[in-house]
Structure formats: structure tokens, C-alpha cells
Structure 1
Amino acid sequence: MLLALKIDVDTYRGTREGIPPLVAALQRHQAGATFLWSLGPDHTGRAIKRVFRPGFLSKVSRTSVVEHYGIRTLLYGTLLPGPDIGRRCAAQMRAVRDAGFECGIHTYDHIKWQDYVASKDQAWTLRELERARLRYQEIFGEPPKTHGAAGWQMNSHAYRWEETVKLDYASDGRGTHPFWPVVDGQRLNCPQLPTTLPTLDELIGVDGLTPENVHEHLLGLTADAPAHGHVYTLHAELEGMRLLPTFERLLAGWRRQGYQLVSTRRLFEQLDLARLPEHGVEMGEIPGRSGTLALQGKVRG
């Protein structure tokens, strides 16, 4: 019974302030995890244009964005220059690696990728991915082996890049179980381990769920363990800060349910790749999140 923890680190503040408490909590609960880093400038303030996206305002009102991210972060890239996370926080990132946790690429510029990649061409996509890859190698002294897309936003060029640079696996979308991605009719050789569980910001404020009881809902979803395990995505800005007590209740609950809490790499290493199904990838909506995102599509054959 494996439950993989995938930690998306979106912002400068999350890297500096959210990561140390998360690492300490994981160590207290003897949990592994994979940390996916934003490696370039923090331009969180530019997300203001999402105000016109259907469902965005209701999500903001439910999840207290100002409380979780802070006023300063919400001005980066607009009224304040965006700090370069990779330049300023390289030592903190290496410390996480040295503590025994897997690291990988989340993005170079989180807001830029999340807001534009779905409609961009090959040149734009590869430029952004290569910026992230080169910065990762500069920081860690080795090439990245995994990628988890910012905001679960992808396009066909990004999937092909993962195969081209020979990533071991990726976790770019939402779904129910690991699979080989099929893009434009072609099976690619970088398996996907999709996020299988809803995130806290998708649940809190819906149907009476609060930071104090949302763990009970999630533990209900994991009561019966699937053979392929689960992938849970958390955020340094949420579970590493104001929602840390909620996350610790989840960790304790999953341990009581009998799960081993592991990195996504550990889950990948348990897969029988020869028997992995092939699924298309598509963009679609899920409850609790505005806009469309990458989803596990229909099985091929």
C-alpha cells in the first residue's frame, strides 16, 4: 500500500518559509516525498488576470489566497520585481535533496507556464522547458529525472520533450492510475503517474469542509487502497504553512490506514512497465478548480 507525496513549490515565499516545516513534518512521520521546484522568477502577481476565468473568484474566496500567499507574493511581477527563486534559494533546494528527498522540475516561470502553455507552439514550449532543465542542472549538478507540470498544464510538445530528454517518469496531470501517454496516436516512453486525489484548495469551503475536518474526507477516499497506489499533490504554500496541522493529521491518518508514504519515484519503481496501460491525454475540467487541466484520457485498444 503506497501513497506517494508530490510537493509542488510555486513561489519564493513557499520555498523559503514553507519547505522547512514540511521537511520536519515528513521526517516526524517517516514519510518520503518528491519536491518539484519552480526554478525561475516568481511572478505570482500576474495571476490577477485570471479574475476573468469562470470559477476563479469562487476558488479565491474559498481558499483565502491572501492569507496563504501573503500580500508581497501577490505583488511579485506587477508592483514588485519577481525574485529569482533558483538563484536565491539554491542552497535550500540542495538541502532538501541532501536530506534524502527526491527533487525534480515543476517549472521555470510558474505563472507563465500555467497561463499560456496549453496554446503555445513547440518553440515557446521547448524554450521554457530548457530554461528549467538548465537551471535544475546548475543547482543540483545533475540532470533532472522527473517533471510535474505547473497547474497540471501541458501540451503535446511538452510530453514529447519528456521523452526526448529521457526523464524516468512524469506526473503532469490528473487521473486514476499510472499509464503510458499516447500523444497524436503515438505512445511515448515516459510513463505518467497522475495525481489521483483532490487537493486541499479544491475541497476546503465546499460541502462544509474546513481545514479542521477536510482530512476526514480525504481519509475516506483512501480507506480502500487501489493496487496501483495513490498520488497526492500538496503545495509548500498551503500544507507547509497555514495548513500544516491539516497535513499532519493526514499523514497520521494514512499511516493508521497502513500506507507507506513515499516519493513518486518509489511508486514508479514498483510498476510493472510491461503491463502498464496506454491512455490518451486530454484537457478537461475537474470539480473545485477553475479552467481546464491535463487529464488521463481513454485507454487505447
Structure 2
Amino acid sequence: MKLALKIDVDTLRGTLHGVPRLIEILQQHEANASFLFSMGPDHTGRAIRRALRPGFMKKVQRTSVVAHYGIKTLMYGTLLPGPDIGRRGADVMRAARDAGFETAIHCWDHVKWQDGAAKANVAWTEREMRSAHARYHETFGVEAQGMGAAGWQMNSHALRMTQRFGYRWASDCRGSHPFMPVWNGEVVLCPQLPTTLPTLDELIGTEDLTSDNVHHRLLRLTATQPKAHVFTLHAELEGLKLGDTLARLLTGWREQGYQLISLGQMRDALDLAKLPRHEMIRGAVPGRSGTLMLQGEEFLLPWKEAA
């Protein structure tokens, strides 16, 4: 059984402080992972525009956003100018690569993508993705091999760009198993490796779950659903205050028999010719405000349905 660890790095704080701590924790547990970096400005403070979104403020209170992100980060892009993550965090990004971890693209401007991608036109989408793609090449000296969209937000133009850039994999949605994405009948030839498990910030604060016991819930899920999983964690959470929670999860998954791998390693184990094709749809996920991309129904060609 394989479990891929997908690490979203959203902010400058997460890059400079969360990533080094995660490297340490992962190495202690002999776990591999993929670090997905935000390559442009940190405009975290502009997320306040989501305040009127149903469930957003409740999530802010439940997950202690100020404690995890810090006051300074929550002012970037509003009261403070947004720092350039790709410039100031380049050494840390390369340190993750040099430690043997896979690196990939999360986005250019996290808040801008998460709030705007769903309804963006082709010019806006290409500008954001090309900026991130170019900065990644500048930072690492090679082309990016994959991406995972900020907030699991995508549109048809972005999906096509994953194929045009030649990405070996993408992880832009929530779902149950790897697949080739379909949008309005159009197949995009870049395999999707969806997040299959709930994230810590979706669980903590619901029912009786805390940072001390939430690992039991996730371990029950992986024990009762023994298959290939993708777990998304965040440098700002598991890399900082929730580091001990992550350590308990890694220990538990090892005891359950899971290999802790990168997204690239998961992709390498796939037979792409046999991957099912599924529609990409929008929907809601418990514990998260708004809508995001989900793995929809399997897309069957007419002659296969007839058979």
C-alpha cells in the first residue's frame, strides 16, 4: 500500500520556517514527500475578502488561523506589502530538493489563484501559470514535473496547460483514485492524483477532534480503506504547530504497512493506458468553505457503455 504526502507551501512563513521543520520530521520517519511551492507574492491578507463566504469565518475560528499563520502574514497584501516568496525562499526550496524530496508548483499568487481561478479567462490563467512555471525554472534550473492547484481550484484553461507544459502529474482535486481528467467531454492527457483524505484543518475543531487526537480519525480511515492514498498537508500547519500530530500520523501509517512516497513515485507506479477517465466537477467538502474541484463520475465512451 502506498500513501503519497503532498505538502502545500502557501506563504513565506511556511517556506522559511515550516519547510525545514518538515524536512526534519520526514527524514526522522524515513518518509518521502512532494513539496509544492507558491512561487510569487505572499498576499495572504487579501483572503479576508472570503469573510462573507458561507462557513469561512467559522473555519477561521475553529482552526486558529492567527496562531498558525501569524499576524504579520495575515497583513501581507493589505497593511504590509506582499513579499516575494520565490526570491526570499529560493534557498529553502532548493534545500528540500537537495534533501532528496520532489519539488513542484503550487501556484504563483496563492490567494489570487484560489479566489479567481474558477471563473478566470484563458489570458489570466496562462499569465498566472506561466509566471509560476518560469520562476520554478529560474529557481531549480529544470522544468517542473507537476503541480497541485491552490485551494483545489481549476478551470478548463488550466487543465489544458498541465498537458501543454508536459507535466507528468497533477493533483488539483479531491477524489478516490488516480485518473485521466475529462472536462465537458475533452480528455486532458495529464494524470490527476487526487487528495483522498481529509486535511487536518478540515477535521480539527469538529466533533471532539483536537490536535492531540485527530490522528486517530485519519488512521481509522486508512485502516478501513487500504488503498493508494494522497494526504495533503501544509507547511504552515504540520510544519509548525502541528508537527507532533504529523509525527504520530507517520508512525501510524508505517505501522499499518504504508509506504510513504512522493506524488512522482505514485505516478511512476501507474499504467497510464489503464487509468480510468473521470469528469472534473465542482462541489463541497466537509470542513472547507466554498466549492472546489472533485473527481466526478467515470467517463465512458459510447461503445464501452454498450459493451
**Under TM normalisation by the shorter chain, which class is it?**
over 0.9
Residue 190 of structure 1 aligns to which amino acid in structure 2? C
Q: Distance in 2 between matches of 1:276 and 1:49?
A: 39
Aligned match of 2:164: 164
- Structure 1 counterpart of 2:211: 211
The one-letter code sitting in structure 1 at the alignment partner of 2:293 is A
Helix, strand or coil for the counterpart of 2:281? Answer: strand
One-letter code aligned to 1:238: L
1:173 equivalent in alignment to 2:170 = no
Q: C-alpha distance in 2, partners of 1:122/1:244?
A: 39
What is the CA–CA distance in structure 2 between the aligned matches of 1:112 and 1:144, rounded to whole Å?
A: 21
CA distance in 2, matches of 1:23, 1:68: 18
Q: How does 1:170-249 map to 2 (within 5 A)?
A: 170-227=170-227, 229-249=228-248
Residue matched to 1:47: 47
Q: Distance in 2 between matches of 1:183 and 1:164?
A: 16
Give 1:225 deviation, angstroms: 4.7
Q: Distance in 2 between matches of 1:296 and 1:29?
A: 31
Per the alignment, residue 94 of structure 2 pairs with 94
Q: Deviations over 1:81-106 (max 9, x none)?
A: 11100011111101110110000000
In structure 1, the partner of 2:146 is 146
Question: In 2, Cα distance between the equivalents of 1:171 and 1:189?
Answer: 13
Q: CA deviation at 1:272?
A: 1.6
* 2:284 corresponding residue in structure 1: 285
1:300 matched residue in structure 2 = 299
Partner of 1:61: 61
Q: What code does the residue aligned with 1:200 have?
A: L
* Residue deviations 1:62-95 (CA, integer Å, cap 9, x gap): 1000000000000000000111000111111011
Instruction: Tell me the CA shift for residue 188 of structure 1.
Output: 1.2
Task: Tell me which amino acid in the other structure corresponds to 2:47.
Answer: A
**1-structure distance, mates of 2:23, 2:165:** 29
What amino acid maps onto 1:144 in structure 2?
A: A
Q: Which amino acid aligns with 1:153?
A: Q
Q: Which whole-Å CA distance do the structure 1 matches of 2:168 and 2:159 have between them?
A: 13
The answer to whether 1:274 aligns with 2:297 is: no
Give the TM-score taking structure 1 as reference length.
Answer: 0.99
Q: TM-score, normalised by structure 2?
A: 0.97
1:208 partner amino acid: D
Q: Which structure 2 residues correspond to residues 114-129 of structure 1 after superposition, within 5 A?
A: 114-129=114-129
CA distance in structure 2 between the partners assigned to 1:96 and 1:205 by the alignment: 31
What is the distance in 2 between the residues matched to 1:186 and 1:195? 22
Quote how far apart the aligned CAs of 1:165 are.
Answer: 1.1
Counterpart of 1:234, as a letter, is L
Give the corresponding residue for 2:111.
Answer: 111
The CA distance in 2 between the partners of 1:117 and 1:226, in whole Å, is: 33
Structure 1: 5+ residue stretches without partners: none
Shift of 1:215: 0.1
Letter in 1 for 2:289: S
* Residue in 2 that maps onto 1:28: 28
Q: Find the residue that maps to 2:89 and give its secondary structure.
A: helix
3-state SS of paired residue (2:257): coil
**Is the partner of 1:8 in helix, strand or coil?**
strand
Distance 1:140 1:165 in 2: 16
Instruction: Report the RMSD for the aligned CA atoms in angstroms.
Output: 0.7
Q: How many percent identity over aligned positions?
A: 62
Deviations 1:147-201 (A, max 9, x none): 0000000001000000011110100010000000011211111000000000000
SS in 2 for 1:245: helix
**Counterpart in 1 of 2:7?**
7
Secondary structure (helix, strand or coil) at the match of 1:195 reads: coil
Give the C-alpha shift of residue 273 in structure 1.
Answer: 1.2
Deviations 1:102-133 (A, max 9, x none): 00000000000000010010010000000000
C-alpha separation in 1, matches of 2:226 and 2:280: 21
Counterpart of 2:224 in 1: which secondary structure? coil
1:124-144 CA-partner distances (Å, limit 9, x unpaired): 000000000000000000010
Provide the rounded CA distance (Å) in 2 between the counterparts of 1:203 and 1:186: 35
Identify the residue that residue 305 of structure 2 maps to in structure 1: none
In the alignment, structure 2 segments of 5+ residues that lack a partner are 301-307
Match for 1:191: what amino acid? P
Number of residues paired by the alignment?
A: 300
- Cα offset, 1:226, TM superposition: 3.8
The letter of the residue matching 2:238 is: E
